[in-house]
Structure formats: C-alpha cells, structure tokens
C-alpha cells in the first residue's frame, strides 16, 4: 500500500492533528518525519483534549504504531512529559511497544535550549530546535543511535562540552555545560528509551512492502520551510513533501496521496511578513483570534490573523503537489458580514500573482482582495449536528448552506486543488467530508 503525507499548507497551526487523528483510524503506522517539540498538534474528542508536541497524532488509534523519524530533533525530557500525560489519560505506556525512536534522530540537549535563548530576531520557540539542526549539519550533534558508543568516552564528552561552552560564550549566554552532567544525561536517555531506539526506516519499509497503511506526518507548514519558506522567518527543517519520505527513511515512490491542511483564513506565529494580516484589536482579525482561540499549542503566544491568502496557498501547492485540501475552522468565520480572500499582491505599483523570494519584498506587498458574503454564527453543537447530518444522510458538502458552499467552492477554484474535508469545530466529529473520501469517518474503527 502507498504512504500518505499530511502537511501544513500555510505557516503552521492549520489543524493537522485532527486530520491525522481521523486518517490514523485506517492506518497501521503514523510517522513524524521532521521538526521537534516546536510543533503542537491538538486532538479533541468529547471532553478529552490531547496537546501533542513530538508524539504523532496517531497515538489515539490504539492499533496504530508510531515512529519519531530520522529527520526529527527530539527533546527526551519533553517526550517523557508527553508520555506521562498520555499514560494518565489512557493507562498505556506505548514506548518500545508501539512507539519507536529512530537511531538517526538527533537529541536536543540542555545546551541547545540555552543557545536558542539568545535569539532576538527570528522569534523562535526557544526550544533548541535550530541549534540541534545546526549541530547535525556541522556533524557534531549526537543521535540516539550514537549514545551507546560515546557515553563512556570521556575525551569525546570533554571535547563536546568545551565546544558547547565556547558557543554559549560567543552569544553571551552565561551558563556552562559540564561533561559529567552531559554523560549523566546521555545515560538517562539510554536507560529511559533504550527499548524504543530502532532502525525505524527499515520498519517502515517492511510495513509498506507488507501492504500496510502508513501516514507521514509533517510539523509546522510549507511557508516555514527552511529552503522554500519566508526566510529567515522560518523553521530549521524542510517541512515540505520532498522531506516526508527522506525524513522517514524510505524512498519517495511510496507516496501516492499528499493532503494539505489549510485554515479557512490565515494565521502566523512569530515574526515575518504576512500580507493579509489584520488587527487583533478590532474587526475580523479580533473575531478570528477570539472565536478561533488562536494561541499557539506549543508556546501559548497569540497568533496573528488575516484573510485566506491564495497566493501563498498556490505557492504551497507548487512545492507539494497536493492531491486534496483539508479546509479547517470554517466555523470560526461564522458571524462575519463579509469574508475576503487575498487573490494577489501589489508591490510598489506592480501586480503580483506569485510570492516574492525575499521577506523584505513580501513585507512591501499589499493584498488585493475579493469579497464574499458572510454567513451566520452557529454553536458548536449546531456545527456538529450539521456534520452528523452530512454523514448520516450521505450528502457530504450538501449539508452546508449556500453562502458557506460558495466560499468553499471559490477557494477550491482559486487554489486549483479539490477540497476533500471541511473542519467545522475542534471535535473529531466536527468534520464534513466528501462522501466516500479518505476523510469520511462514517465507518472508522473504534479508537481511544
């Protein structure tokens, strides 16, 4: 069976966790292929809310095995906190049984977080992601599979600690890494996760050859890609489709479906240009922030809000070749008299239909909008009732009223990508999917 890729199509925070949770019901593996605990995926079912940062969103499907892949940078202490929270909710300890860590994944150490604290420009999460990836590129980082060979090598540990301290000193961080503490940390990681550390690329390859369904789960979004995003206001890894298989340890020929997740509007956390941005103090921007509860899952920082940016979405599609779009948070727009879509930019008198390469140029762009009629606000239970009607009566998007459907179809036409599912609330059941499509949860297996 082919692998399926799930990606953020904007600047992250699009609602990937819910989409992955839905697809994992019919999958046997869920694989995170890049990023670290700078990501935040939220899954809601009933009164239970899971906030995940490193564990794949497929955790709620108890038949689904999970992998933290080759392309990740992993904070072992944060992972333990997540596993403890999951154990408190479910009673399960999945590590070493259905949760596995790649030997090739890099370790985020206390040094990386200290170094990251010096950032004053990009607006990172401060969780050590960038410095851990930098160490990987410089070939001085420590991977999970390396620990057993270096933990008793005192010369190696001394030299590594000295390097770390020189780097901390160079950015004005007044802290010091002791080699004995580094050794102690590595021993703990090996003891805590030794049974979970595996050659996971081989495991995934075998599963695919055995006809199993594999989900490749991205973090952040296409516009935060280190190579293709709004550099330098990006994350430290390749977030796009090209890295999905590479970061999992398999070849790209396995992928058949690639779904992009996009909000019905746009948000962004941190610094960087955002052409369709609105004020958080008034009007539609404040409405989106308040109704959409737009605060980062990982950082708690308020997200900047704006109208849906088709120029950015088309750029995202160029990079990823989406076979379908999942449109999330349509419900948040309820109650607005009019809804706008950014269909182009104006930069110094020139009309643009594509994103400029540099952030300085993008910051000069003013949005060109088309305006659509809004639709009335509904309660969460009313949205879920609409979603249930779409499934029970087998009518899919036919459950939407005319104004909602017109907005959805216009997005589909402008982006040139079929919309396969529409999120109308945070709950797992608050989705309206194309009938018989991959996100039709009518016949999903029972999950946690």
Question: What would the pLDDT profile of 93-146 be if each residue is shown by its tens digit?
Answer: 999 999 999 999 999 999 999 999 887 666 667 899 999 999 999 999 999 999
pLDDT band at 435 (very low <50, low <70, confident <90, very high): confident
**The model's pTM:** 0.93
Mean pLDDT of all residues belonging to the chain: 93
Instruction: Give catalytic status of residue 87 as yes or no.
Output: no
> End of a domain among 193, 212, 244?
193
Is 42 in the same domain as 115? no
421 contacts 436 by C-beta, under 8 angstroms = no
Of 21, 41, 309, 427, which one is the catalytic site residue? 41
pLDDT for 45 equals 63
Q: Decide if 442 is inside a domain.
A: no
Q: What is the CATH number of the domain that holds 216?
A: 3.90.170.10
Q: Is the domain of 181 the same as that of 205?
A: no
Of residues 363 and 435, more confidence is placed in: 363
Q: 263 and 303: one domain?
A: yes
Same domain, 203 and 138: no
Verify that 14 and 30 share a domain, yes or no. yes
Number of domains in the chain: 2
Q: Do 257 and 156 share a domain, yes or no? A: no
**Averaged pLDDT for residues 267-282:** 95
Q: Are residues 74 and 118 in the same domain?
A: no
Closest CA to 8 of 300, 365, 268: 268
Q: For 119-123, 174-178, 183-187, 380-384, which range has the lowest pLDDT when averaged over its residues?
A: 119-123
What's the mean pLDDT in 178-187?
A: 98
Residues 249, 315 within the same domain: yes
Q: Rounded CA gap, 110 and 35, in Å?
A: 17
* 357 alpha carbon, distance to own chain's centre: 23
Question: What is the pLDDT at residue 443?
Answer: 60
Residue at which a domain ends, from 193, 209, 244: 193
Share of the chain above pLDDT 70, in %: 96
In a domain, 439, yes or no: no
Mark whether 41 is an active-site residue: yes
pLDDT for residue 285 is more than 70: yes
Domain with 158 in it: what CATH number? 1.10.300.10
The phi and psi torsions of 302 (rounded to 5 degrees) equal -65, 135
Domain identity same for 271 and 308? yes
Count of beta carbons in the 10 Å neighbourhood of residue 179: 18
98 domain residue, yes or no: no
Model pLDDT, residue 446: 53
Residue where a domain terminates, one of 193, 224, 256:
193
Q: Give the pLDDT band of residue 299 (cuts 50, 70, 90).
A: low
Mean pLDDT of 362-384: 97
Q: In the chain, what are the helix, strand and coil shares in percent, each to the nearest 5?
A: 35, 20, 40
Q: Where is pLDDT greater, at 298 or 392?
A: 392
Domain extent for 379: 3-86+199-433
> Are residues 220 and 342 both part of a single domain?
yes
Same domain, 235 and 325: yes
Residue 213 lies in a domain: yes
In the set 13, 116, 135, 309, the catalytic residue is: 13
445 inside domain: no
Q: Is residue 441 part of a domain?
A: no
User: Quick one: pLDDT at residue 200?
Assistant: 98
Residue 422's closest CA among 391, 387, 393, 389?
Answer: 387
Residues 180 and 230 in one domain: no
**Residue 96 within a domain:** no
- Is 100 inside any structural domain? no
- Name which of 32-41, 82-91, 175-184 the model is least confident about: 32-41
Other CB atoms within a 10 A radius of the CB of residue 224 amount to: 28
């Amino acid at each position: 069976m082919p692998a399926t890729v799930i990606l953020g199509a904007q600047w992250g925070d699009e609602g990937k966790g819910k989409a992955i949770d839905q697809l994992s019901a019919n999958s046997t593996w869920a694989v995170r292929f890049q990023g670290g605990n700078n990501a935040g995926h939220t899954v809601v079912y009933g009164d239970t809310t899971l906030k995940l940062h490193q564990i794949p969103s497929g955790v709620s499907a108890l038949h689904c095995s999970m992998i933290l892949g080759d392309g990740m940078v992993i904070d072992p202490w944060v992972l333990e906190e997540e596993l403890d929270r999951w154990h408190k909710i479910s009673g399960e300890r999945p590590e070493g049984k259905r949760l596995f860590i790649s030997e090739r994944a890099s370790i985020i150490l206390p040094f990386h977080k200290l170094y990251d604290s010096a950032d004053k420009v990009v607006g990172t999460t401060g969780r050590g992601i960038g410095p851990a990836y930098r160490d990987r590129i410089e070939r001085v980082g420590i991977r999970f599979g390396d620990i057993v060979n270096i933990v008793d090598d005192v010369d190696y540990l001394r030299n590594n600690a000295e390097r770390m301290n020189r780097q901390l000193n160079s950015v004005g961080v007044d802290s010091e890494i002791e080699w004995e503490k580094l050794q102690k940390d590595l021993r703990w990681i090996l003891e805590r996760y030794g049974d979970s550390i595996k050659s996971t690329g081989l495991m995934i390859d075998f599963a695919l050859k055995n006809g199993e369904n594999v989900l490749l789960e991205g973090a952040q979004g296409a516009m935060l890609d280190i190579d293709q995003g709004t550099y330098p206001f990006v994350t430290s890894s390749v977030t796009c489709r090209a890295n999905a298989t590479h970061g999992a340890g398999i070849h790209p020929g396995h992928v058949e479906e690639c779904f992009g997740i996009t909000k019905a509007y746009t948000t962004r956390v941190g610094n960087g240009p955002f052409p369709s941005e609105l004020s958080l103090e008034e009007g539609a921007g404040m409405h989106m922030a308040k109704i959409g509860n737009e605060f980062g899952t990982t950082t708690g920082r308020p997200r900047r809000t704006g109208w849906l940016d088709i120029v950015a979405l088309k750029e995202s599609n160029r990079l990823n070749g989406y076979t379908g779009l999942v449109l999330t948070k349509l419900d948040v727009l309820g109650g607005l008299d009019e809804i706008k879509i950014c269909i182009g930019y104006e930069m110094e008198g020139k009309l643009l239909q594509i994103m400029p390469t540099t952030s300085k140029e993008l910051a000069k762009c003013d949005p060109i909008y088309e305006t659509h009629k809004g639709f009335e606000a509904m309660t969460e239970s009313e949205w879920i009732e609409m979603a249930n009607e779409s499934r029970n009566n087998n009518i899919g998007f036919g459950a939407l009223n005319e104004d909602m459907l017109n907005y959805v179809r216009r997005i589909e036409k402008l982006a040139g990508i079929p919309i396969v599912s529409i999120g109308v609330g945070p709950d797992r059941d608050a989705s309206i999917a194309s009938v018989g499509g991959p996100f039709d949860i009518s016949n999903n297996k029972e999950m946690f």
